[in-house]
Amino acid sequence: STGMQGKPFGFSTCVCRSIEFSFQALVEPKKEETDQACLTVNPSHMKKAFKVMNELRSKCLLCDVTIVAEEVVIEAHRVVLAACSPYFCAMFTGDMCESKAKKIEIKDVDGQTLSKLIDYIYTAEIGVTEENVQVLLPAASLLQLMDVRQVCCDFLQSQLHPTNCLGIRAFADVHTCTELLSQANAYAEQHFPEVMLGEEFLSLSLDQVCSLISSDKLTVSSEEKVFEAVVSWIKYDKEARLEHMAKLMEYVRLPLLPREYLVQTVEEETLIKNNNTCKDFLIEAMKYHLLPLDQRQLIKNPRTKPRTPVSLPKIMIVVGGQAPKAIRSVECYDFKEEHWYQVAELPSRRCRAGVVNMAGGVYAVGGFNGSLRVRTVDVYEATKNQWISIAPMQERRSTLGAAVLNELLYAIGGFDGSTVQTGLSSVEVYNYKTNEWSFVAPMNTRRSSVGVGVVDGKLFAVGGYDGASRQCLSTVEVFNPITNEWSYVADMSTRRSGAGVGVLSGQLYAAGGHDGPLVRKSVEVYNVTTNTWKQVSDMNMCRRNAGVCTVNGLLFVVGGDDGSCNLASVEYYNAATDKWTLLPINMSTGRSYAGVAVVDKPS
């Protein structure tokens, strides 16, 4: 008997009506109701019914209305349409002539889209694509299919990119999708340096540009970007837009620009020179610079107020590495949620690569794939969770140094696997705007397992191994991109190959590394002004070939090996307390020679 009574026909087990009901029953006990409160709910009932209704529709059975849009004719059941769409419900239950009409023509929606939406009403399935979303959303709005509308908005939000966010913002505005509108707006503000380069920005109206650049939340590394944006917007249609220059300059916070930039760039700009109102803004900025610091704060002017962008949550991304062989795995650490998770794997195995964040993309440059040193480069886009390949370097390089300076990616030294046991001194540079690599001046020393960092517009190459003298290096050299020259600076206090090199508050750190078999836990820091190295606290673990990155004012050292094991642990340095702290959670695998970068957490 239990078989039949317990779970007849696979229905869910007997459930009491609801928590609220039971609660109500407790407050006001009603004998007869509590006795009946045990109901059986068949969760698949509605689904089955709709399936049958849809089959009836496809056979034109029991249909009582014909919906026509353009050339498309759809037979359907009034009650089904009315049950799911408030628009049809009003139409069929109201006093209008449509309530009785056998055939109804829908204007403002194309036939294919209407047919998709009626399919949705019967099946609850909808396919949103880049191609159809722009017609689907307005049509769903018309039929008041709010769930479909939401799916469209979610889809558009997932597609936000510097090249389309302004278009999506305008679309959201027209269709009163308030949440999407504010998401797209925030996205445009947060990615302004990339957004301003695009066609969408250049095609904005004057009012739209004013509204965007007047926002306190605009994320720009420097006000220069805003000035450049204004100039390029005017120049895009100079004849028609010239007269708007003064209006726009009202929103450029010129006083916040460095004096040199004002004199060398702003004053030289003919758009400024030719208009007295614009010149007045420049004079205002110059005057501001002449004031003593304590008096500057007293000025209340919208142009002297620093912008206050929302700082986005960050993630740390750990790319490839060896564990113990070259791996494809990529894992991320979410600083806010404090957990690790895996993301899309590298297209091929890679360790000993150079990894950097440039313009929001994570570049994995060269490295070793388990059998060969490679020249290939893969780029990860966090918002799309995908890797793509770009132009390869000219030379094969593993254990190279990689860094970004002036929007150029430098690949420095390393080992090509063929030059007999010696490191490379050559350096090449990638320009993402042209997708091209070219050589710059080589270092003075061959360096594999070199660590690099950028301070004050210069690139530092720290330690490494030269192969020729069979020695780990304590020497350090600096590259000046203006003169295209490398020169030596002060040596570290000790030889370090495979040191973790990173920059925190304008100082260059060299953490761990090794000299022969000796793996270090000591750390030293270089002050550019004094050209001196100074010892700071040791790490908790000896590490070489670790990944390094800086985030939220802390220097993170990730994995590496201690001479016998690959490490899964991560530790970070706080300069204010001169202390290293282990992250409470390890990576999923011990890895050395992994690359690390920090990116905005995809929303």
Ligand X SMILES: *[C@@H]1O[C@H](CO)[C@@H](O)[C@H](O)[C@H]1NC(C)=O
Binding-site ranges for ligand X (CB under 6 A): 243, 246-247, 275-277, 348-349, 369-372, 374, 505-507, 527, 529-530, 567-569, 585-586
Please name which of 482, 409, 411 lies closest in space to residue 443, comparing C-alpha atoms: 411
In whole angstroms, give the CA distance from residue 448 to residue 464.
5
Smallest distance from the beta carbon of 25 to ligand X, in angstroms? 48
Smallest distance from the beta carbon of 279 to ligand X, in angstroms? 9
Question: Measured from the CB atom, is 37 or 391 closer to ligand X?
Answer: 391
Question: Measured from the CB atom, is 89 or 455 closer to ligand X?
Answer: 455
518 SS3 class: strand
248 near 230, Cβ under 8 Å?
A: yes
CA distances from 228 to 105, 222, 249, 262 (A): 52, 11, 11, 12
297 near 263, Cβ under 8 Å?
A: no
Smallest distance from the beta carbon of 98 to ligand X, in angstroms? 54
Question: Measured from the CB atom, is 138 or 347 closer to ligand X?
Answer: 347
Residue ranges of alpha helices (H) inside 96-175 are 111-123, 133-142, 146-158, 165-174
Question: Measured from the CB atom, is 89 or 405 closer to ligand X?
Answer: 405
The structure tokens 């990615």 sit at: 191
Smallest distance from the beta carbon of 481 to ligand X, in angstroms? 20
Give the CA dihedral 212, 216, 218, 222, nearest 10 degrees.
120
Question: Measured from the CB atom, is 83 or 372 closer to ligand X?
Answer: 372
Q: In 323-405, at which residue ranges do the beta strands (DSSP E only) sit?
A: 330-334, 339-343, 354-358, 361-368, 373-381, 386-390, 401-405
Smallest distance from the beta carbon of 192 to ligand X, in angstroms? 24
Question: Measured from the CB atom, is 384 or 534 closer to ligand X?
Answer: 534
49 near 61, Cβ under 8 Å?
A: no
Smallest distance from the beta carbon of 190 to ligand X, in angstroms? 28
Smallest distance from the beta carbon of 244 to ligand X, in angstroms? 6
Instruction: Compute the C-alpha angle 285/287/290, nearest 5°.
Output: 115
Secondary structure (DSSP) of 491-516: PPSS--BS-EEEEETTEEEEE--EET
Which are the contacts of 474, defined by CB distance < 8 A and separation ≥ 6? 463, 491, 492, 493, 494, 495, 496
Smallest distance from the beta carbon of 243 to ligand X, in angstroms? 5
Please name which of 461, 466, 507, 512 lies closest in space to residue 487, comparing C-alpha atoms: 461
The number of beta carbons lying within 10 Å of the beta carbon of residue 518 is 13
Smallest distance from the beta carbon of 398 to ligand X, in angstroms? 11
Please name which of 514, 36, 33, 586 lies closest in space to residue 331, comparing C-alpha atoms: 586
Smallest distance from the beta carbon of 69 to ligand X, in angstroms? 48
Give the CA dihedral 193, 197, 200, 202, nearest 10 degrees.
110
Question: Measured from the CB atom, is 129 or 276 closer to ligand X?
Answer: 276
Question: Measured from the CB atom, is 72 or 242 closer to ligand X?
Answer: 242
Query: What are the tokens at 59?
Result: 């056979």
Instruction: Compute the C-alpha angle 447/452/457, nearest 5°.
Output: 125
Question: Measured from the CB atom, is 392 or 481 closer to ligand X?
Answer: 392
Smallest distance from the beta carbon of 76 to ligand X, in angstroms? 56
Query: What are the tokens at 195?
Result: 């957004």
Smallest distance from the beta carbon of 408 to ligand X, in angstroms? 24
Question: Measured from the CB atom, is 13 or 577 closer to ligand X?
Answer: 577
Which are the contacts of 202, defined by CB distance < 8 A and separation ≥ 6? 232, 233, 236
For the chain, the straight-line distance linking the first and the last C-alpha, in angstroms and rounded, comes to 54
Smallest distance from the beta carbon of 417 to ligand X, in angstroms? 11
Question: Measured from the CB atom, is 194 or 250 closer to ligand X?
Answer: 250
Please name which of 363, 365, 369 lies closest in space to residue 351, comparing C-alpha atoms: 369
Consecutive H or E run containing 573: strand 570-574
Question: Measured from the CB atom, is 77 or 303 closer to ligand X?
Answer: 303
Question: Measured from the CB atom, is 218 or 570 closer to ligand X?
Answer: 570
In whole angstroms, give the CA distance from residue 506 to residue 492.
17
